[in-house]
Amino acid sequence: MSVEWADRVFVPDQQVADSAAMAWSWLVPGSWRIIYCSMFGTIFIEKESGEICALECASGIVEHAANSEAELHAFLGGECAGGLPPLGDPVSMLVHGRI
């Protein structure tokens, strides 16, 4: 059975995004918004500059993930509808440069 990106990454509703943004504002200063969350506990945020970072909620590590939302969106397969091969932990693989 193949697991698609749509099964791994989702767009949080506004209330969840606002709550998470408030909870993590101490770690990620400045203006940013949440664009995707993953079932692995990663929050993808877009900074004011357009840079996309991955915030690993379990460790509190924030790392560069993409240069823009369009770049991340393209990597995730358009509308997060899949099209990518099944991977172990794709978010970690993306963030750590193994994809």
How confident is residue 87, by pLDDT bands cut at 50, 70 and 90?
A: very low
Residue-wise pLDDT for 26-63, tens only, equals 999 889 999 989 888 899 999 999 999 999 999 999 99
Distances (CA, A) of 46 to 1, 52, 82, 83, 88: 32, 5, 22, 24, 25
Q: Is the pLDDT of residue 95 over 90?
A: no
Check residue 5 and give its pLDDT.
64
How confident is residue 64, by pLDDT bands cut at 50, 70 and 90?
A: very high
Check residue 92 and give its pLDDT.
54
Q: Is the pLDDT of residue 84 over 50?
A: no
By C-alpha distance, which of 6, 9, 11 is closest to 20? 11
Domain residue spans in the chain? 5-95
Q: For the chain, what is the mean pLDDT?
A: 78
Between 83 and 2, residue with greater pLDDT: 2
Q: Chain-centre distance of CA 23, in angstroms?
A: 16
Residue at token pair 């929050």: 43
